[in-house]
């Protein structure tokens, strides 16, 4: 894992994109503050840039760097969640503009997956995380289901967990409103 962390970190620092394991499924990622890298992911996925992608962080203490106002309930939801939880916040900041939804919102998940958490800690910035597939195709549950088109287009493919066949669940998704509204989008 150490070698993967070192190589992935180097690619991210140089504005590249990686294919990596997350706490849900395999993802395509880049520096969430780099507009050119984010644009490359949209292009690779053949996805409209009006469809925002989510961001992974390793610690809830960094939410306020990337969200204008973090509702207190967000911290509670993250703490008590027993599975990966993506929260959509109403007002993103300090992220690539082409990553943020048209309404200014951003989906953020605090990862508990060991490799991803260590990578983000070393990188000191959040990572984009989007499923490792072409838009409209099914999301691969395991590494061996990822298309060669995706594998060949990224700058680095993480070797760690490529042979892991442990079933993973998608994250729950909750949208928080400015006035404290809570909307459950996926349990």
Q: Which CATH number belongs to the domain containing residue 176 in this structure?
A: 3.90.870.10
What digits encode the pLDDT tens for the residues 149-158? Answer: 999 999 999 9
What is the rounded average pLDDT of the residues 21-42? Answer: 96
Domain count, the chain: 1
Measured CA to CA, the distance from residue 76 to residue 80 in angstroms comes to 6
Least confident range from 26-35, 97-106, 175-184: namely 175-184
Phi/psi at 173 (5° precision): -130, 125
- In the numeric block, the tokens 């597939």 are attached to 133
The whole domain housing 143 covers 2-186
């Amino acid at each position: 894992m150490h070698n993967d962390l070192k190589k992935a970190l180097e690619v991210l620092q140089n504005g590249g994109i990686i294919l990596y394991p997350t706490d849900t499924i395999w993802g395509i990622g880049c520096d969430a503050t780099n507009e050119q890298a984010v644009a490359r992911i949209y292009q690779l996925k053949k996805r409209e840039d009006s469809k925002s992608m989510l961001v992974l962080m390793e610690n809830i203490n960094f939410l306020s760097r990337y969200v204008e106002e973090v509702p207190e309930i967000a911290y509670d939801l993250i703490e008590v969640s027993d599975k990966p939880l993506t929260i959509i916040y109403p007002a993103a900041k300090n992220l690539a503009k082409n990553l943020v939804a048209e309404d200014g919102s951003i989906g953020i998940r605090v990862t508990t997956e060991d490799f991803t958490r260590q990578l983000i800690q070393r990188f000191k910035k959040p990572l984009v995380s989007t499923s490792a597939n072409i838009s409209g195709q099914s999301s691969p549950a395991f590494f061996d289901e990822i298309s060669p088109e995706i594998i060949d287009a990224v700058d680095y493919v993480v070797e760690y967990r490529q042979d892991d066949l442990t079933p993973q669940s998608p994250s729950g998704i909750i949208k928080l409103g400015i006035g404290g509204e809570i909307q459950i989008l996926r349990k």
